[in-house]
């Protein structure tokens, strides 16, 4: 039941946009998005709940399609600091805090 | 507000030994979850502690055990270490309050190497 992320990797130039997708085969309660830089802890970006509630950083946007059990993270006007590996973490059956993390998407932003 | 802290930062052990990793949760948080992250992989859920009791477990054998203390800090113990236990061990704290949101905040991790 590990969610699948796509793409696996993406290379951008500064200022370009990217979309990272997270798909589950099982009904989701919530999706959490994290960014992890090499050798560091994952940093919380956003949480999206079924029903449309969401909470996160102002500069990050994401969507949650309950019918398709998918979430997408939108990175606009990318900056060098956006580089890292992005993980979605999924919750099933309620606010259990037991996250099942996806396969990860490596994002590299070049000058 | 103090963030999540973990100790030690790095640890080297040999097969068959035992190890204890420690985590101090963020101020105001009452739930601690432990994750194992192998190189190039996403974190894998080990177990969670809430109000000093184990509250859910992932697909890890019983030689992985834990504790939560009254101040909500937590320990992860691994017995009979195997080479495959080499990984980054992350703890994440959150506040279970009956609300909608339960954002988890991660500590810096403990890098365990088993030789």
At B39-77, the pLDDT tens digits run 989 999 999 998 899 988 999 999 999 999 999 999 999
Consecutive H or E run containing B78: strand B74-78
pLDDT in tens, B3-23: 899 999 999 999 999 999 999
Name the residue among B41, B56, B99 with its Cβ closest to that of A98: B56
Pair A12, A106: CB distance under 8 Å = no
Element (H, E) at A6: strand A4-6
Chain A closest CA to B101's CA: distance in Å? 7
**Structure confidence at residue B95 as a pLDDT band (50, 70, 90):** confident
| pLDDT at residue B2 tops 70 | no
Contact (CB<8Å) A96/B56: yes
Angle subtended at Cα B60 by Cα B56 and Cα B64, rounded to the nearest 5 degrees:
90
The model's confidence at residue A50, banded by pLDDT at 50, 70 and 90, is confident
Tokens of A95: 């606010």
- Is the CB of residue A20 less than 8 Å from the CB of residue A72? yes
Instruction: Classify B32 as helix, strand or coil.
Output: strand
Short-list B115, B106, B99, CA closest to B32: B106
The closest CB to that of A41, out of B45, B90, B100, belongs to B90
């Amino acid at each position: 039941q590990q969610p699948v992320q796509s793409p696996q990797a993406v290379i951008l130039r500064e200022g370009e946009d990217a979309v990272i997708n997270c798909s589950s085969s099982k009904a989701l309660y919530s999706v959490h998005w994290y960014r992890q830089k090499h050798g560091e802890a994952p940093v919380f970006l956003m949480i999206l709940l079924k029903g449309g509630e969401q909470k996160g950083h102002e500069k990050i946007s994401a969507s949650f399609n309950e019918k398709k059990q998918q979430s997408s993270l939108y990175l606009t006007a990318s900056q060098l600091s956006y580089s890292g590996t992005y993980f979605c973490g999924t919750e099933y059956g309620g606010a259990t805090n037991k996250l099942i993390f996806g396969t990860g998407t490596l994002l590299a932003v070049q000058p | 507000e103090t963030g999540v802290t973990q100790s030690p930062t790095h640890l080297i052990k040999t097969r068959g030994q035992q190890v204890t990793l420690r985590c101090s949760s963020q101020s105001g948080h009452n739930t601690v979850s432990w994750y194992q992250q192998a190189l190039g992989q996403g974190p894998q859920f080990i177990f969670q502690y809430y109000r000093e009791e184990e509250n859910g477990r992932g697909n890890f054998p019983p030689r992985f055990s834990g504790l939560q203390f009254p101040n909500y800090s937590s320990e992860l113990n691994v017995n009979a270490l195997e080479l495959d236990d080499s990984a980054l061990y992350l703890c994440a704290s959150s506040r279970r309050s009956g609300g909608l949101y339960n954002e988890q905040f991660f500590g810096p991790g403990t890098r365990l190497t088993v030789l």
